[in-house]
Amino acid sequence: MEFFVISLLNGLSYGLLLFMLSSGLTLIFSMMGVLNFAHTSFYMLGAYFAYTISGAIGFWPALIVAPLLVGLLGALFERHCLRRVHKFGHVPELLVTFGLSYLILELVRLVWGNATVPYGLPEQLQGPLFTLYGTQFPKSRSFIMLLALLMLLSVWLLLTRTRIGLVIQAALTHPETVEALGHNVPRVFMMVFGGGAALAALAGVIGGNTYVTEPAMAGAVGSIVFVVVVVGGMGSLAGAFLASLVIGVLQTFAVAIDQSVATGLRAIGVTVTDQTFGHELLQLSIAQVAPILPYLLLVLILIFRPKGLLGKREG
């Protein structure tokens, strides 16, 4: 029982982290039509900046400063690089963000090295929030959940209750009309891109010390975030939310299950030996299969429900 509850909580916190990332990605995609390949690179930058900054002025200030810095970098990139490529079409846009992700990776390796950096949790977030039947649920993970929900709430409030939020919502589907109404849409784009980068960095600040901070972190979570976005339905925020939670919970549970088809068969009296046909496949435990579950889900969704869980029809 406690395994179920703890795993569920862990899965939800991981899923919410995925949502923090995929929501920014979905917003940028909805508005600008460009899927920002460098989104998880901003996540990584957030973690690394926070590591360095918290070493100087502490974690809690870094929680504010790091995302702001990354947001600024994102806005600059949009202004000088992405905007220039916009007229060439969607493929060059994707390529330029791909180039950026590559560049950020190399710069990170250059400045901080190839190995994992010791970006640790601050005192207030160490230790368990509560202990359930002997298994702990860490404070840091619950903080992620809190932060994700706060972020979601504030973004929703921004979009629906403020004037700039209304402009952004309108520009999501009709940028030219909004520009004709006199709003500085390019600046709106720049702000949204920078905002998305800042949100990704915020996820990195807390994700980096809860999990691990290393150059490979961008790639590791990157492909899963893209799977979330496609499975949820391109451009659908609600779909991204659903898909994030599903994948987060699915993977967390799967990693803990050591059963395989072979153990199942053994329970009904059928033994699988090294000579059995396909024994490699049958003896794979679910934990071993866990890393590919999101991709299997992607393939299944594409076959049976191509527009995603909650996607709108593509034009």
Partner 1 sequence: MATTSMAGSAAASRPRGRLHVWALFAVLLVLLPQVFRSSLALTMLSQMGYLAIICLSYNILLGQGGMLSFGHAVYTGLGAFVAVHAMNRATQGAIMLPVIAVPLVGGLAGMLFAALFGYVTTKKSGTTFAMITLGIGELVAAMSLMFPGFFGGEGGVTTNRVYGTPFLGLTFGSQMQVYYLIAAYCFISTGLMYAFTGTPLGRMLNAVRDNPERVEFIGYDTQWVRYIAFVIAGFFAGIGGGLAAINFEIVNASDSLSAVRSGGYLLFTFLGGATFFFGPIIGAVLLVLASVLLSEVTKAWLLYLGLVFLLMVMFAPGGIASLIMMNLRVARFGKLKGLLGWYLALALTGAVMFFGVAAMIEMIYHLQLEDAQGPLLHFMGIGLNAKSAASWLGALAVAAVGTALFEATRRRFARRWGDVQGEIEAAIHAREAAGA
Interface contacts to partner 1, rule CB under 8 A: 29, 34-35, 81, 84-85, 88, 90-92, 94-96, 98-100, 102-103, 105-107, 110-111, 113, 219, 223, 226-227, 229-230, 234, 280-281, 284, 288-289, 291-292, 294-296, 298-299, 302-303, 306, 314
- Alpha-carbon gap, residue 97 to 18, rounded angstroms: 20
Work out how close the CB of 237 gets to partner 1 at its nearest, in angstroms, rounded to a whole number: 17
Nearer to partner 1, 100 or 217 (CB): 100
**In 136-159, which positions are buried (b, 16+ CB within 10 angstroms) versus exposed (e)?**
ebbbbbbbbbebbeebbeebeeeb
Burial class (CB in 10 A: 0-12, 13-18, 19+), 110: exposed
Nearer to partner 1, 12 or 240 (CB): 240
- Alpha-carbon gap, residue 141 to 16, rounded angstroms: 10
Nearer to partner 1, 147 or 224 (CB): 224
Work out how close the CB of 210 gets to partner 1 at its nearest, in angstroms, rounded to a whole number: 23
Nearer to partner 1, 202 or 247 (CB): 247
Work out how close the CB of 292 gets to partner 1 at its nearest, in angstroms, rounded to a whole number: 4
Nearer to partner 1, 146 or 281 (CB): 281
Work out how close the CB of 267 gets to partner 1 at its nearest, in angstroms, rounded to a whole number: 22
- Alpha-carbon gap, residue 172 to 234, rounded angstroms: 13
Burial class (CB in 10 A: 0-12, 13-18, 19+), 310: middle
What are the two backbone dihedrals, phi and then psi, of residue 130, each rounded to the nearest 5 degrees?
Answer: -150, 160
Nearer to partner 1, 109 or 139 (CB): 109
The enclosing H or E element of 142 equals: helix 139-161
- Alpha-carbon gap, residue 256 to 244, rounded angstroms: 19
